[in-house]
Structure 1
Amino acid sequence: MNGRAGAMPEANLPGFRRRFLITPAQFAVTAALEDDIHRMVVTLHHDGESVTRVEAEMARHPWDLCPGAVAKVEADFAGRPLAPSARDIDKKANCTHLFDLAELALRHAGDAAPTPYEMLVSDPADGRVTAVLRRNGQERLRWHLQDDQMLEPHPAKGLPLIGLRPWIASLSDEARHEARMLQWASLAAHGRQMPWEPDTPFRALPGSCFASQLGRHENCQRIGERIDFSKPGARLPLAD
């Protein structure tokens, strides 16, 4: 974490953009997400101690079976104490993005003001990628990768992007939370390199999320709009 504020040097580079906005209120907290292929929101209603009711919505999603995950996250998080971890819930049995939103809402339920998180993951240039996370407009993390292996920060050098769990687990609570967020964004950014035409055969990794579980994976179809927020003149995620 370096606390730098101001415009990111990579702001004009083509690449993946993701934004979360968590908005607390009295006895409720809402977490919203938008990126190239997702736009979702989760609201947790609570009594100050535990979640009393969950509402989730999906405006954009990549698979036709994704909306079925709304009932799953609503059931899994209802009744939970207001604590920043839900690791006893099977994330992959849920829509992983709705799950992340619900966890974020739990983490920020007691806040007094909204919290925005912004992530930028540049498209690979000769295999080189820069990934940045900002919270409340201040830079918190900056990673450099080569061919999906970490170059910086130094303690993670040489680790594959998909294999960061031991290093992330060694971090303090807030740093661990933000590193997970940037890892998720960096993995999701791979979607920019995948074919998007509906008739192109492509499926999510079996068992990796709600829509790709056994019995669904074989039948799910790719749908939905993909937005390149890095194009000149494009709006910011969640800006509308």
Structure 2
Amino acid sequence: MSALDQLPGFRRRFRVTPGRGWVRSEVEDDYHHMTVILRHEAGVVTEVEPIMHRAPWTTCPGAPAQLRQTFTGVALEDFALRGEKTANCTHLHDLAVLAAAHAQDRAPLVYDILVSDPVEGRRRVELRRDGEPLLGWSDQDHRIVEPAELAGLGLFDQLRPWIDSLDPPRQEAARLLRWGAILAHGRVIPMERQSDASRMPPNCYSFQPPRKAQARRVGAIRDFSQGPAQPLDPYTPATAPAP
């Protein structure tokens, strides 16, 4: 077990479970717990089933209808090109794209993201695939300091060219890790500063006008770095959900 597991910080887990004619993708972290089930036939999605178990805004429950509109009838291979991410809940959208990418896999896939709380502005960030470390870096005030090949790049606005240079599996992992590291920043922002949706840029379903004026902060926040609980536990092996 890495020392990173022992540090307080942000935890995020994705699990993708493929089945015959369906695939389920799930995520849980401090602020979110969501599921997307895609049913597909001949490579085309016939039904999209989003579930919001835990979400941070009163307007979030409207997002599943938008996700169904975005992806129903779309070929699995075209999900990543479909766009419309900011019109959707970004987390449901990511789950749908992740599910489509792994719909033909033969075994479940688990990604774990761990981000330590900053100490004098410095954090450790790591992504594991099926328990094995795959990507990691250290950042200082959201600018990467390690590894050397990324040193000096800003987390928010300068990683895209590097991500685009990777092979597709590592691109997927790097995108998830970057977004997880950005979400982790919420642990050190006072709640009153992150609870006014009207000040947010229009980068997701709840922050679109005029919806952002109606959004109110709700939902439990969990700290998975304290105690034995882990995201997406307890685990129940997936079977094809009833139509």
> Taking structure 2 as the reference length, what is the TM-score of the superposition?
0.91
Contact 1:32 1:42 (8 Å CA) reproduced:
yes
Aligned to 1:100: 94
Corresponding residue to 2:135 among 134, 138, 141: 141
Q: Which has the higher helix share?
A: 2
Contact 1:206 1:214 (8 Å CA) reproduced:
no
Aligned to 2:182: 187
Aligned to 1:196: 191
Matches within 5 A, 1:155-234: 155-163=149-157, 164-196=159-191, 201-203=195-197, 205-231=200-226, 233-234=227-228
Aligned to 1:90: 84
CA distance in 2, matches of 1:148, 1:215: 31
> What is the DSSP-based 3-state SS (H/G/I as helix, E as strand, rest coil) of the residue aligned with 2:53?
strand
How big is the shift at 1:154? 2.3
Corresponding residue to 2:115 among 117, 121, 124: 121
Q: 1:65-119 CA deviation, whole Å, 9 max, x = no partner?
A: 0111100111111111122742332111100000000011001100111111101
Aligned length: 232
The amino acid across from 2:231 in the alignment is: P
Q: 1:91 to 1:200 in 2, by over 3 A?
A: closer
How big is the shift at 1:48? 3.5
> What is the DSSP-based 3-state SS (H/G/I as helix, E as strand, rest coil) of the residue aligned with 1:162?
coil
The amino acid across from 2:200 in the alignment is: L
Contact 2:36 2:51 (8 Å CA) reproduced:
yes
Q: 1:15-62 CA deviation, whole Å, 9 max, x = no partner?
A: 000001100010000000000010000000001311010000101111
Corresponding residue to 1:14 among 8, 12, 17: 8
CA distance in 2, matches of 1:174, 1:154: 22
Aligned to 1:151: 145
How big is the shift at 1:200? 7.8
CA distance in 2, matches of 1:192, 1:182: 16
CA distance in 1, matches of 2:78, 2:149: 26
Deviation larger for 109-118 or 78-87: 78-87
Aligned to 1:4: none
> What is the DSSP-based 3-state SS (H/G/I as helix, E as strand, rest coil) of the residue aligned with 1:189?
helix
Corresponding residue to 1:61 among 55, 63, 72: 55
Q: Which runs of no fewer than 5 residues in structure 2 stay unpaired? A: 235-243
Contact 1:84 1:104 (8 Å CA) reproduced:
no
Percent identity, please.
44
Contact 2:18 2:104 (8 Å CA) reproduced:
yes
Deviation larger for 78-87 or 16-25: 78-87
Aligned to 2:239: none
Matches within 5 A, 1:40-51: 40-51=34-45
How big is the shift at 1:201? 5.0
How big is the shift at 1:196? 3.1
RMSD: 1.6
CA distance in 2, matches of 1:201, 1:235: 26
CA distance in 2, matches of 1:128, 1:207: 29
Aligned to 2:74: 80
Contact 1:17 1:118 (8 Å CA) reproduced:
yes
> Taking structure 1 as the reference length, what is the TM-score of the superposition?
0.92
How big is the shift at 1:234? 3.5
Q: Which runs of no fewer than 5 residues in structure 1 stay unpaired? A: 1-6
Does residue 39 of structure 1 match 2:33?
A: yes
Q: 1:156 to 1:85 in 2, by over 3 A?
A: farther
The amino acid across from 1:196 in the alignment is: M
